[in-house]
């Protein structure tokens, strides 16, 4: 460690400053930047593969065919219910419900961040869909008016339930176990929604992963901005 400190003095000072007591602004910005950069890298890579019909599109077809061959009445009902939890109707209901709660709780900054995250996520998803113009899988042809990439269910559910998790952790009980339970439940729910879109044949695998990457990019940017603004106003 001493050798690393001497050899990379500037980098060492930067990293240690991120974790210094009283310097958590820099830590939040650094983590937010790293998460956003990783999500952007994944999203751009998948987008390039989709546009150029790279090998991931073969995986898309193989996985879609496998899912379609393993349908069953009970599984159909379960995955339709899971998919509904990421539908526009449910997302709008959640958005309005949380907004009303934040208004009643007089959490103006959180309300602004919530509306920006969910509203901006919906807008961003529509912009990217219209820019890529990827047709839906054959099983979903004619059932949806929007394009396939990225999955709106995957992207918006990650943003909405991710922001809801952030709100609950900040305004809920100060209990680490409760926080872990909230994060775990939200993660499983978002993953289940993505799998449901594959099972129902509404999206390709790359649509769902691309949606998650774009959603994480936007969610990370919104939470980082909120954290810095919240701590700046508290000083």
Q: What is the rounded average pLDDT of the residues 206-234?
A: 88
- Residue 84 predicted with pLDDT over 70: yes
Using only C-alpha atoms, the chain has a radius of gyration, in whole angstroms, of 20
Report the predicted TM-score, pTM, of the whole model to 2 decimal places.
Answer: 0.86
- How far is 83 from 12, CA to CA, in rounded Å? 46
pLDDT digits (tens, 9 = 90+) for 41-58: 999 999 999 988 888 888
**Most confident by average pLDDT, 31-40, 64-73, 114-123, 170-179:** 114-123
The residue among 108, 205, 196, 103 whose CA lies nearest residue 157 is 196
CB atoms within 10 A of CB 217: 23
- How far is 133 from 102, CA to CA, in rounded Å? 37
Q: Are 32 and 220 in contact (CB under 8 A)?
A: yes
- How far is 66 from 199, CA to CA, in rounded Å? 9
For residue 27, what pLDDT is reported? 63
Tokens standing for residue 214: 């774009």
| 177/233: higher pLDDT | 177
Lowest mean pLDDT across 59-63, 157-161, 182-186, 187-191: 59-63
Q: Output the average pLDDT for the chain.
A: 86
Q: Are 202 and 162 in contact (CB under 8 A)?
A: no
* 177 burial type by CB count under 10 A (0-12 exposed, 13-18 middle, 19+ buried): exposed
Q: How confident is the model at residue 111 (pLDDT cuts 50, 70, 90)?
A: very high
- How far is 200 from 230, CA to CA, in rounded Å? 41
For residue 30, what pLDDT is reported? 74
Q: How confident is the model at residue 1 (pLDDT cuts 50, 70, 90)?
A: low
- Residue 22 predicted with pLDDT over 60: no
The residue among 231, 70, 48, 21 whose CA lies nearest residue 134 is 48
Tokens standing for residue 18: 């991120």
Q: What is the rounded average pLDDT of the residues 175-189?
A: 93
Q: How confident is the model at residue 28 (pLDDT cuts 50, 70, 90)?
A: low
Q: What is the rounded average pLDDT of the residues 191-210?
A: 94
Q: What is the rounded average pLDDT of the residues 151-163?
A: 96
């Amino acid at each position: 460690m001493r050798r690393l400190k001497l050899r990379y003095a500037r980098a060492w000072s930067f990293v240690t400053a991120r974790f210094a007591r009283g310097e958590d602004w820099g830590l939040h910005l650094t983590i937010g930047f790293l998460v956003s950069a990783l999500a952007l890298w994944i999203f751009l890579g998948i987008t390039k593969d989709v546009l150029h019909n790279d090998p991931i599109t073969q995986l898309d077809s193989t996985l879609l065919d496998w899912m379609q061959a393993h349908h069953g009445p009970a599984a159909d009902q379960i995955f339709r219910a899971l998919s509904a939890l990421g539908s526009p109707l449910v997302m709008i209901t959640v958005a309005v419900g949380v907004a009303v709660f934040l208004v009643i709780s007089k959490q103006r900054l959180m309300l602004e961040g919530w509306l920006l995250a969910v509203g901006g996520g919906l807008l961003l998803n529509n912009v990217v869909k219209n820019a890529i113009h990827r047709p839906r899988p054959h099983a979903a042809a004619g059932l949806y008016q929007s394009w396939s990439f990225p999955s709106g269910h995957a992207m918006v559910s990650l943003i909405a339930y991710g922001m809801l998790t952030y709100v609950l952790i900040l305004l809920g009980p100060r209990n680490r176990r409760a926080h872990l339970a909230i994060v775990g439940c939200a993660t499983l729910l978002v993953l289940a929604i993505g799998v449901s879109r594959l099972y129902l044949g509404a999206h390709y695998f790359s649509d769902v992963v691309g949606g998650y990457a774009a959603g994480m990019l936007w969610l990370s940017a919104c939470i980082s901005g909120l954290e810095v603004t919240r701590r700046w106003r508290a000083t």
